[in-house]
Structure formats: structure tokens, C-alpha cells
Amino acid sequence: MPVEQHIFHLVNGGAWTHPALDRAMFLVSAWSVWWPLLAFACVAILVCGSFRARAFVLITAIAVGIADGVIVRPLKKVAGRPRPHESIEGVRGIVHDRTTISRWEAAFVRPLQITVSESPLIIRSGKSFPSAHSANNFAVAGVALVFFRRRAWPFFVFAAAVAYSRLHLGVHWPSDVIAGACIGLVVGMLTTLLVDWLWHRAIAPHFPKLAAAHPNLYRQ
């Protein structure tokens, strides 16, 4: 068995699985559960936050947009890699509806419905490489690293949990999440530095008072 498949089976259906972990990984990975809270927090920061906090939110949005829309989605089409449950038997997955309410119920109320793939599908979606969840969350972590340095560790813990959950839920291979994490981290850091450069060169000169009060976007 190839090393990647061995690692995948350990995480997805081997000794590293547990019913409590199933729910935790589903909760971490379910974007529909988190987006209302995240949207509220972003709006609150943009309305009431400091200049630096607003800059963090705006740069994060740009970085995630680049990582997801400009890099990951085109790569998925080019790579055309099938997801694990479309390629091999015995992949554990969780059945759920895609609506926000249904995912909240599945995450906190209803028992999880576990399925196991029996045979590779004839029709393959080819959306496995790279992992968008990993790329997007590590893009946030990359921005946080430039802004907060050592204090950015909670962003990395959450991003790593999301990446791990994609293996646990059987929707990505290890190389998918590693590639997504690398893409997101690089994009997050470079986007922050680029926006800061644009702030100094193209924007700040037109707003001298604002530039004097906030000479840097990410430095305290």
C-alpha cells in the first residue's frame, strides 16, 4: 500500500478514529456552521475595530479570495484528481445536508450518519487536489503570522485542525491538504506584504493625515 494511502487510512478509518472525534472533525470542517458567526465578527470589526484590525480583516479577505478563486479552483480543474471515496473502497464519510440549519443539527444535535464507500464511482468529480479548506484557513494564518508574529499560533492550530478534518472525513488525500496549506500560507503572507507596499506607494500619499497616524498596516 502506498505511504499516502496508509496515512489516509490511519486517519480516516484506522486506529486514530473515535466517535467523539467524528463529531469534532465534522464541526471544525463544516463551513456552513461557522460562516454566520464569522460574518458577524468581520462586520463588527469593520464597524467598531481599530485601523489595524480593519486592515487585518480586509487583507484576509483578499488573501482568501486569491488562494481560493485564483489558485485552488483552477488547479482543481487542471489536476482532476478524484476524491478518496471515488478512488478506493472502505473510506469513511459522514452523510449530511448542505444547508446551514441541517449542518448545525448534525454538528450539535443529531447522531452522525457514517457511511463507508464500497467501490470506486464511475463518475468522478475530480475536485480533490488541492484542498480549498486547507488553503483558505492557512491563508488566514499566513496573514495573522505577519500581523501578530508569535501570537498567531491560534490561527495555525485551527487551520491545522481543519486540514486534519479533511482527511478524517475522507474527502481529501494527505498531499491535498499539504499542498493547500502551503499555497494558503504563502498567499497569506505575500498578500499582506503586497498590500502594505501598495499602501505606502499608492494610497498613503493621498491621505497624509491617515498615513501619519498609521504609517504601517501590520506593525504595531
Is the entire prediction scored with pTM above 0.85? yes
Return the pLDDT at 16: 75
Contact 194, 143 (CB under 8 A): no
Residue pair 170/93 in contact by the 8 Å Cβ criterion: yes
Owner of C-alpha cell 467598531 = 48
pLDDT at 125: 62
Q: Which residue ranges form the domains of the chain, and what is each CATH number?
A: 3-205 (1.20.144)
**pLDDT of 36:** 81
Tens of pLDDT along the chain (220 residues) come to 488 888 888 888 767 777 778 888 888 888 777 888 889 999 999 999 888 999 999 999 999 999 999 999 999 999 989 888 888 887 887 766 555 445 555 556 566 667 777 766 555 566 899 999 999 999 999 999 999 999 999 999 999 999 999 999 888 999 999 999 999 999 999 999 999 998 888 776 777 777 777 777 777 6
The pLDDT value given to residue 101: 46
Residue 89: its pLDDT value, please?
80
